[in-house]
């Protein structure tokens, strides 16, 4: 294009240029200086002709900077709006804007996945949001919403279920931001809906597992408890509640110093701290004061557990009350002491006659050590002075659950015979079943010998008494005879003198 010349007049911010050009057949945008600033101009070319002959060209230049700025602003706004909508459609949830009457002015496209309904069905009024809330949750949601508005709370979070078009329900968390006007009236609600179905399912699974574990723990008769690393109770089973006389709700959050005497609590806490430092398992014997208020002997068995991230989570422990066992052990020790010091032989056999126990008196008398006797049948003591019928009668009576008493002659390890007086009784369990036999025996060898001597002496005494009586009677008879003899002798002597 060739240079052109002409006059320029500015009327209502429109520049009109009249001039002569060689060729100018289209509009163009040019930049001119107007009132000392750069201005975007629109150049329109008009051709004036006479009888189809070009006469002159009329150039109309219009300032359109404001129009361009407005167009650019609108374009930018549209671009930002598109980006914002795209962002809202891609956030992990459903963005919405609603009114106090529950109508929805805007809702993100993700609502389609959450409910099966398109956004337009909500914004157009075809679907009322309240109609898809689970009937069991609706009143809860409405109450929470009305309470929040009444208290002028700016935020509200509530969890509830909504019905999908497929008939199933989805759990969601509704995070609401309440917008109030100058007068304190609720204008609108801007919120975010988060799908919690998967999380709720996982929570339900965990809850079911926890419930199962709690039922399992409650079925165990041994008292069991668990604590965190601060020594505070996290839970326990029914047996532990009954043992300490406190409910689980009362125990949770407490420490041993809250439920046990200080001297015992100090011991428990120190053992817990030692276990936390060493980790692993621990067992120790101590005292405890359970629900009856008395001190019991117990054994604590404990082990540490870890959190999912590998850090120390706490400990789980069990309590084994050994008070009765201790008493039984003490009673047994006392009994063994008494039996061990008894001069009576004591033997215990099973129902088959196999020796299970012999006391020291047995060892002293028979010469057989306990190790030589236990596990054997008592027949190794037999002296062969009794026939089979003797032993059969004894075992038949024992088999009927009766006590057998009598005397028998047995043989010592050195071959010497001894006579014993025995009483063998059946031992029964709590069900009345015979589980063993208890034999208490006494060496009566010397007694029998003394009895023989006494009997011999008694016989001799009887003979002496008999002989004395006979002699007395004989003497009585002889006295008469002698007397009569003397009289005869005297008479014969007198006759002879005559």
**Confidence band, pLDDT 50/70/90 cuts, at residue 6:** very low
Same domain, 192 and 103: yes
451 belongs to a structural domain: no
The pLDDT score that the predictor gives to residue 299 is: 96
In this structure, are residues 246 and 225 in contact, taking their beta carbons and an 8 Å threshold?
no
Same domain, 420 and 353: yes
Mean per-residue pLDDT for 18-44? 43
Same domain, 121 and 146: yes
Angstrom distance (rounded) from CA 85 to CA 91: 10
**Confidence band, pLDDT 50/70/90 cuts, at residue 91:** low
Q: Residue 119 pLDDT > 70, yes or no?
A: yes
Same domain, 102 and 188: yes
Angstrom distance (rounded) from CA 463 to CA 476: 20
Angle at 217 between CA 213 and CA 222, to 5 degrees: 165
Phi, psi of 300 (to 5 degrees): -95, 130
The pLDDT score that the predictor gives to residue 334 is: 86
Who's near 387: CB < 8 A, 6+ residues apart? Answer: none
In this structure, are residues 115 and 171 in contact, taking their beta carbons and an 8 Å threshold?
no
59 belongs to a structural domain: yes
Q: Residue 476 pLDDT > 80, yes or no?
A: no
**Confidence band, pLDDT 50/70/90 cuts, at residue 85:** low
The pLDDT score that the predictor gives to residue 451 is: 74
Burial of 322 (0-12, 13-18, 19+ CB in 10 A): middle
DSSP structure class, residue 381 = G
The pLDDT score that the predictor gives to residue 347 is: 93
377 belongs to a structural domain: yes
Mean per-residue pLDDT for 155-183? 94
Domain count, the chain: 4
Listed residues 269, 288, 321: the one ending a domain = 321
The pLDDT score that the predictor gives to residue 469 is: 66
- pLDDT: is 45 or 472 the higher one? 472
**Confidence band, pLDDT 50/70/90 cuts, at residue 247:** very high
Q: Residue 1 pLDDT > 60, yes or no?
A: no
449 belongs to a structural domain: no
The domain that holds 154 is classified in CATH as 3.30.450.20
Question: b/e per residue, 403-427, with b = 16+ CB within 10 A?
Answer: ebeeebbbbeeeeeebbbbbebbbe
Mean per-residue pLDDT for 365-388? 93
- pLDDT: is 15 or 99 the higher one? 99
Which tens digit of pLDDT belongs to each residue from 413-446?
999 999 999 999 999 998 999 999 999 999 988 8
Domain interval for residue 301: 220-321
Same domain, 366 and 288: no
Angle at 157 between CA 156 and CA 159, to 5 degrees: 140
Mean per-residue pLDDT for 451-465? 72
78 belongs to a structural domain: no
Mean per-residue pLDDT for 64-90? 62
**How many other CB atoms sit within 10 Å of the CB of residue 350?**
13
Same domain, 357 and 382: yes
Q: Residue 44 pLDDT > 60, yes or no?
A: no
The pLDDT score that the predictor gives to residue 449 is: 77
Phi, psi of 24 (to 5 degrees): -160, 95
83 belongs to a structural domain: no
Listed residues 142, 172, 201: the one ending a domain = 201
In this structure, are residues 238 and 218 in contact, taking their beta carbons and an 8 Å threshold?
yes
């Amino acid at each position: 294009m060739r240079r052109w010349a002409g006059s320029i007049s500015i009327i209502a911010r429109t520049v009109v240029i009249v001039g002569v050009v060689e060729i100018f057949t289209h509009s163009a945008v040019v930049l001119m200086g107007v009132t000392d600033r750069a201005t975007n101009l629109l150049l329109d070319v008009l051709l004036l002709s006479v009888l189809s002959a070009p006469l002159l060209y009329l150039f109309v230049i219009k300032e359109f900077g404001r129009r361009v700025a407005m167009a650019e602003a609108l374009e930018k706004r549209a671009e930002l709006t598109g980006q914002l909508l795209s962002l809202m459609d891609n956030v992990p949830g459903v963005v919405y804007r609603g009114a106090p009457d529950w109508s929805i002015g805007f809702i993100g496209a993700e609502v389609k996945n959450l409910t099966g309904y398109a956004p337009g069905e909500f914004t157009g009024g075809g679907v009322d949001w309240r109609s898809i809330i689970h009937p069991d949750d609706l009143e809860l949601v409405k109450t929470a919403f009305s309470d929040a508005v009444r208290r002028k709370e700016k935020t509200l979070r509530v969890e509830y279920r909504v019905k999908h078009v497929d008939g199933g329900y989805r759990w969601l968390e509704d995070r609401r931001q309440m917008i109030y006007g100058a007068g304190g009236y609720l204008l609108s609600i801007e919120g975010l809906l988060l799908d919690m179905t998967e999380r709720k399912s996982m929570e339900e699974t965990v809850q079911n597992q926890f419930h199962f574990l709690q039922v399992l723990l409650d079925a165990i008769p041994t008292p069991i408890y668990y604590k965190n690393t601060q020594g505070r109770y996290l839970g326990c089973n029914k047996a532990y509640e009954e043992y300490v006389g406190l409910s689980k709700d009362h125990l949770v959050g407490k420490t041993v110093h809250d439920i046990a005497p200080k001297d015992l609590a100090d011991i428990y806490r120190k053992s817990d701290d030692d276990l936390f430092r060493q980790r692993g398992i621990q067992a120790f014997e101590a005292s405890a004061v359970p629900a009856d208020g008395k001190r019991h002997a117990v054994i604590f068995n404990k082990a540490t557990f870890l959190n999912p991230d590998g850090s120390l989570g706490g400990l789980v422990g069990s309590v084994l009350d050994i008070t009765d066992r201790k008493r039984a052990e003490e009673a047994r020790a006392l009994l063994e002491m008494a039996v061990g010091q008894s001069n009576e032989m004591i033997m215990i056999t099973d129902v088959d006659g196999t020796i299970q126990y012999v006391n020291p008196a047995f060892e002293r008398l028979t010469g057989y050590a306990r190790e030589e006797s236990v596990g054997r049948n008592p027949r190794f003591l037999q002296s062969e002075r009794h026939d089979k019928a003797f032993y059969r009668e004894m075992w038949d009576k024992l088999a009927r659950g009766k006590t057998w008493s009598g005397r028998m002659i047995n043989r010592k390890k050195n071959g010497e015979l001894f006579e014993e007086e025995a009483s063998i009784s059946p031992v029964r369990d709590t069900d009345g079943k015979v589980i063993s036999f208890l034999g208490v025996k006494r060496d009566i060898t010397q007694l029998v010998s003394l009895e023989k001597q006494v009997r011999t002496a008694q016989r001799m005494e009887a003979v002496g008494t008999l002989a004395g009586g006979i002699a007395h009677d004989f003497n009585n008879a002889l006295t008469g005879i002698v007397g009569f003899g003397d009289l005869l002798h005297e008479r014969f002597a007198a006759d002879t003198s005559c």
